[in-house]
Copies of this chain bind each other. A is one copy, B any other.
Amino acid sequence: AHPLTPDWVQDAVFYQIFPDRFARSGRVTGLNLQPWGDPPHFHRYMGGDLWGVIEKLDVLRNLGVNALYFCPVFQSASNHRYHTHDYYQVDPMLGGNEALRHLLDEAHARGMRVVLDGVFNHASRGFFQFNDLLEQGEASAYRDWFHVQGWPLQPYDDTRPANYAAWWDNRALPKFNTTHPAVREFLWDVAEYWIRFGIDGWRLDVPNEIDDDSFWQEFRRRVKRLNPDAYIVGEIWGDAHRWLQGDQFDAVMNYHFTRPCLAFFGARTLNHEMNERSGMGRVDPMSAEAFAARMTEVTQMYHPEIVRAQLNLLDSHDTARYLSAVGGDATAHRLALTFQFTYPGAPCLYYGDEIGLPGGPDPDCRRAFPWDESVWDHATRNHVRTLAAARHASPALQRGDFTVTHAQGEGLVFTRPHASGTAVIAMNCAHEAADLPAPDLHMPGGEAGTYTDVLSGQTFDLSGGVVRVPARGSVVLLRA
């Protein structure tokens, strides 16, 4: 099958929202919450909700965001909501299905897409059909929906074996028996239900744990039958060829992008201890040569259309925040942001990154968004806004190829050749300004002439053969 991916993803600037921590409208009351902004806790709720997100849509649009990716929003007895209690109900604390209805309408009216997180490998102890096993034992009507190893089940007693299959042996997350026809139909129906409701795609949580191509092939058929433009993006940290043949996912969360960005832009200040405790694991510094080679390789791993639809992230709810992972160096963060917005694939901001919100591994990377603008890092935010605007204005940044023309030490130059005009990006991680070799403008796809740096607004003439790049800075050159 030809790996057709949704065209809109190539134009997208994503913003990942952790719903409990982004914005609280105050419309949902009667809850036991921790104060907004207190240090995050594995178990406590801060009470962010979708009404709150709606109130902030214009702020995000102003930033340049045109796609939202939400961590789970369905009813769940956990602040991250990966423990699904009901797949058909948006959590009442988030405002319920009504709030999502309004959110979709308001987002779509602003030209923004909305992708939800689908957790289909496992449910939770309170999930109705699993709860029936706890309540009724072997007599359960849904006995075959899960993998039971013995009765009675031990759902809450950590001193005994859980005696049922669970994700990473976490008894809070009973694994579905996805070979059971009723379970398959149930999960596919959930996928269809929310596509019909109006979402624009599914981010799939740990989809490799459902070790069954036919499951995901049918998942894709059903989703695409309802909306051929729906985006299906899997959380696959490693090699994803199996799922990117055109018959399963459109793309994956591109952690192959993340790691080199930490290693190169953060080389001087990497917080090793923090990364080792987070989803990233050990990250060693990388030279420009190694970085260029690896990032070139990453653009060649999959079909070009898939590469341009990848979800490129610097961090997520599963890692330390990029800023903290590079030792708090906001300049390194801005360099990485430059690369993220100029590399093939859809950039995905993790909420708060744009204002310099720090955070170590879970739960610290899930802090409440501080809505007091006086504490924001406006330099970073303006940088993101500039980059997003440039990307939206430039077919080369959205759809161009990726060609490294120089990589040495701490200097990197690459182009995004495209029929409409080639973009040139030069990056300098050193502490002194550098004259980096300009690309050969007479090469196929290159053009001589005058360029404008979208970051500084300055004009560049590349015919001299060099590009002057500020210390720990970048130029992003588009044809003037």
**Residue A59, interface by CB 8 Å:** no
Contact B32 A141 (CB under 8 A): yes
User: Roughly how many angstroms separate A79 CA and B137 CA in the complex, as a whole number?
Assistant: 13
Residues of B with C-beta under 8 A to A79: 136
Residue A33 interfacial (CB < 8 Å): yes
A383 contacts chain B at the CB level, 8 A cutoff: no
- Binary interface encoding of chain A residues 302-335 relative to chain B, with 1 for a CB under 8 A from any of its CBs, else 0: 0000000000000000000000000000000000
Q: Smallest CB–CB gap between A87 and chain B, Å?
A: 12
Q: Is the CB of B75 within 8 A of A31?
A: no
Partner of A137, one of B31, B33, B43, B183: B43
Q: In the complex, which of the residues A32, A45, A124 has the most CB atoms of chain B within 10 Å of its own CB atom?
A: A32
Interface residues of A in 3-53 (CB under 8 A from B): 29-33, 41, 43-45, 47
Q: Are B86 and A128 touching (Cβ within 8 A)?
A: yes
Do A141 and B180 touch across chains, with their CB atoms under 8 A apart?
Answer: no
A 346-389 binary contact with B (CB < 8 Å = 1; else 0): 00000000000000000000000000000000000000000000
Which residues of the partner chain B approach A86 to less than 8 Å between Cβ atoms? 86, 128
Is A77 positioned at the interface, with any CB of B under 8 Å from its CB? yes
Known: A86-B128, A128-B85. A172 touches B135 (CB 8 A): yes
Would A77 and B43 count as touching, CB distance under 8 A?
A: no
Cα A269 to Cα B139 in complex, Å, equals: 36
- Interface status of A156 (Cβ within 8 A of chain B): yes
> Is there an interface contact between B141 and A134, defined as CB atoms closer than 8 Å?
no
B185 x A85 contact (CB < 8 A): no
Q: Specify which chain B residues have a CB less than 8 angstroms from the CB of A445 in the assembled complex.
A: none
The 29 sampled A-B contact pairs (Cβ below 8 Å) are A30-B181, A31-B142, A32-B142, A32-B144, A43-B136, A44-B136, A44-B139, A45-B139, A47-B141, A77-B128, A77-B132, A77-B134, A77-B135, A79-B136, A85-B131, A86-B128, A93-B141, A124-B131, A125-B126, A125-B131, A125-B134, A126-B127, A126-B134, A126-B135, A131-B131, A134-B156, A135-B172, A156-B156, A157-B157
Please give the residue numbers on chain A whose beta carbons come within 8 Å of chain B beta carbons, in ascending order.
Answer: 29-33, 41, 43-45, 47, 75, 77-79, 83, 85-86, 92-93, 124-128, 131-132, 134-137, 139-144, 155-157, 172, 180-183, 185
For the A-B complex with A30-B183, A31-B182 known, give 4 more contacts whose Cβ atoms are closer than 8 Å: A32-B140, A32-B144, A77-B128, A126-B131
